[in-house]
Amino acid sequence: MTGADRPVRWLRESLGYEPRDAALFAAALTHRSAAGPNNERLEFLGDAVLNLVVAHHLYRSFPHATEGDLSRLRARVVSREPLAEVAAALKLGEMLQLGSGELKTGGFRRQSILADALEAVCGAIFLDGGLAAAEQAITRLLAPRIAALPDPATLKDAKTRLQEYLQARSLALPRYELERVEGEAHAQTFRVSCEVPALGQRAHGGGSSRRRAEQEAAERMLREIAPGTAADPPA
């Protein structure tokens, strides 16, 4: 089997797709660090195709989910980390054409490169076979992940869940206060308090940013006033 045949066989076995334009898929599997046509433009197109197909799938699978719920669910499927995991499982990295610098630094294992290449392949399928072919291949890849998604309500962050809990009981929104910042500039820890005056409750949180500290404080507040709405504590 020649080097040119490997991507075709990989597409056939991994995605169940028989390509018509081999050059299109050669470009999809070529990083910009390598010579020749690369996958940047196909990545741009594939990102849109992936988002459309997954959004359509989620829309049908979660008929009662809100727009925010659907956005959070989609991020669980088509953001960099899950796409890189799918690409790694397909051994897509072994198909990539990389420049010498990326080869030396293990670029075929880098999440950003794997996720981008998978998007590019989806863009190439769309151009080569149309939307129906792209939808079939993407569904084959991602349907198990979509089926395993949790209840949309569990994906809301702690601040949102706390706000909704208080609003449902006609209580004033919580107040967050930055109490102090610890550590050197390159490794700071923010300490924040979350107060619910109507309940006389205050919780504290810390994190590498103010936002993370506020989320932790909100989570701790939920554990105090509404244990059933709080996320499981970290292992």
Residues with a known catalytic role: 47, 119
Alpha helices in the chain (DSSP H): 5-10, 22-28, 40-61, 67-78, 80-89, 100-104, 111-129, 131-147, 158-168, 210-225
First and final C-alpha spacing in the chain: 48
Return phi, psi of residue 159, to 5°. Answer: -65, -40
Mean pLDDT of 192-208: 95
Contact criterion met (CB below 8 Å) for 153 and 171: no
> Tell me: the pLDDT tens digits for 58-91?
999 999 888 988 998 998 899 998 999 999 999 9
> Judging by beta carbons within 10 Å of its beta carbon (0-12, 13-18, 19+), is residue 54 exposed, middle or buried?
buried
Domains annotated on the chain, with CATH: 5-154 (1.10.1520.10), 156-228 (3.30.160.20)
> Tell me: the pLDDT tens digits for 211-226?
999 999 999 999 999 8
The answer to whether the pTM exceeds 0.75 is no
Residues 84, 99: Cα–Cα separation, whole Å: 19
